[in-house]
Chain A
Amino acid sequence: MLRFIVRRLFQAIPTLLVLSLLVFIWLRSLPGGPAGALLGDKATPEKIDALNKVLGLDQPLFIQYFKFLGRVLTGDFGSSLISGEPVLAEIGRALPATIELSLAALLFAIVLGIPLGYMAASYRGRFLDNATVIGTLVGVAVPVFFLGILLKQVFAQDLALFPPSGRQDVTIEATRVTNFAVLDGLLTQEWDASADALWHLVLPAIALGTIPLAVIVRITRASVLDVLNEDFVRTANAKGLQAPIVRRRHVLRNAMLPVSTTIGLQTGLLLGGAVLTERVFVWGGLGSLLAQGIERRDYPRLQALLLLAAVVYVLVNLLVDVSYAIIDPRVRTS
Chain B
Amino acid sequence: MVFGAAGEPKNFDPIFNDDGESFRPIRQMFDTLITYKRGTAELAPGLAEKWEPNSDGTSWTFTLRKNVKFHDGTAFNAEAVCFNFDRWFNIKGAAAQSQMIYYGDVFEGFAANEGDAAGDPIYKSCEATDESTAVVNLNKYKGAFPAAFGLTALSISSPDALKKYEADSVQQSGDSFSYPAYATEHPTGTGAFKFESFDRANKTITLVRNDEYWGEKAKLDKLIFKIIPDENARKQELKAGTIDGYDLPSPADYNSLKGDGFNVTPRPAFNILYLGINGTNTPALKDLKVRQAIAHAVNREQLVKTKLPAGAQVATQFMPDTVAGYADDAQEYPYDLAKAKDLLAQAGAGNLSLKFYVPTEVSRPYMPNPTELAAVIADDLKAAGINVELVSRPWNGGYKDDVQKFGKHDLHLLGWTGDYNDAGNFIGTFFGREKPEFGFNDPALFDAISAADAVVDQTEHADAYKQVSRDLMSKFLPAVPVSHSPPAIVVSSKISGLVPSPLTDERFDTVSKG
Please tell me whether chains A and B touch each other in their complex, using a CB distance cut-off of 8 A. Answer: yes
Q: Which residues of A are in contact with B by a Cβ distance under 8 Å? A: 30-32, 34, 36-51, 53-55, 57, 68, 71, 76-87, 93, 152, 156-157, 160, 163-171, 174, 176, 179, 279, 281-282, 284, 288, 292, 295-297, 299-300
CB pair A292–B397 under 8 Å, yes or no, is no
CB pair B117–A79 under 8 Å, yes or no, is no
Residue B280 interfacial (CB < 8 Å): no
CB pair A170–B202 under 8 Å, yes or no, is yes
CB pair B236–A165 under 8 Å, yes or no, is yes
Contact A156/B240 with A46-B117, A48-B405, A284-B203 known, Cβ cut-off 8 Å: yes
List the 7 shortest-distance A-B pairs measured between CB atoms, nearest first: A78-B174, A31-B398, A50-B117, A164-B236, A50-B116, A297-B396, A45-B405
Question: How near does chain A come to B204, taking the closest CB pair, in angstroms?
Answer: 5
> A41 to chain B: which residues have CB within 8 Å?
18-19, 364, 417
CB pair B10–A84 under 8 Å, yes or no, is yes
> A54 to chain B: which residues have CB within 8 Å?
94-95, 98, 115, 172
> A37 to chain B: which residues have CB within 8 Å?
396
Interface residue from A84, A166, A179, A279 paired with B176 (Cβ < 8 Å): A84
What total count of A-B pairs have CB within 8 Å? 165
CB pair B229–A42 under 8 Å, yes or no, is no
> B50 to chain A: which residues have CB within 8 Å?
none
Q: How many residues of B contact A (CB 8 A)?
A: 60
Can you show 13 pairs from A to B with CB atoms below 8 A apart? Answer: A36-B396, A45-B436, A46-B116, A50-B118, A55-B172, A77-B174, A84-B176, A84-B177, A86-B173, A156-B240, A157-B239, A297-B397, A300-B175
> B402 to chain A: which residues have CB within 8 Å?
31
Residue B247 interfacial (CB < 8 Å): no
> B179 to chain A: which residues have CB within 8 Å?
84
Q: Which residues of B are in contact with A by a Cβ distance under 8 Å? A: 2, 7-8, 10-11, 18-19, 94-95, 98-99, 101-102, 104-105, 115-118, 172-179, 184, 200-204, 224, 226, 228-230, 233, 236-237, 239-240, 242-243, 361, 364, 393-394, 396-402, 404-405, 417, 436
> A166 to chain B: which residues have CB within 8 Å?
228, 233, 237, 242
Question: How near does chain A come to B202, taking the closest CB pair, in angstroms?
Answer: 6
In the complex, A84 Cα to B230 Cα: how many Å? Answer: 20
Question: How near does chain A come to B163, taking the closest CB pair, in angstroms?
Answer: 22
Contact A292/B229 with A44-B404, A50-B116, A300-B174 known, Cβ cut-off 8 Å: yes
CB pair B397–A32 under 8 Å, yes or no, is yes
Contact A53/B115 with A31-B397, A84-B178, A156-B236 known, Cβ cut-off 8 Å: yes
Contact A170/B201 with A45-B405, A71-B174 known, Cβ cut-off 8 Å: no
With A32-B399, A170-B243, A297-B397 known, 17 other A-B pairs at CB within 8 A are A30-B397, A30-B398, A31-B397, A31-B401, A31-B402, A40-B18, A46-B117, A47-B117, A79-B178, A84-B10, A84-B179, A156-B240, A163-B242, A166-B233, A166-B242, A179-B201, A300-B174
CB pair A34–B400 under 8 Å, yes or no, is no
> B7 to chain A: which residues have CB within 8 Å?
82
In the complex, A57 Cα to B98 Cα: how many Å? Answer: 14
Question: How near does chain B come to A40, taking the closest CB pair, in angstroms?
Answer: 5
Contact A76/B173 with A157-B239, A164-B240, A284-B203 known, Cβ cut-off 8 Å: yes
Contact A79/B174 with A171-B2, A297-B396 known, Cβ cut-off 8 Å: yes
Residue of A nearest to B405 (CB): A45
CB pair A78–B224 under 8 Å, yes or no, is no
CB pair A93–B396 under 8 Å, yes or no, is no
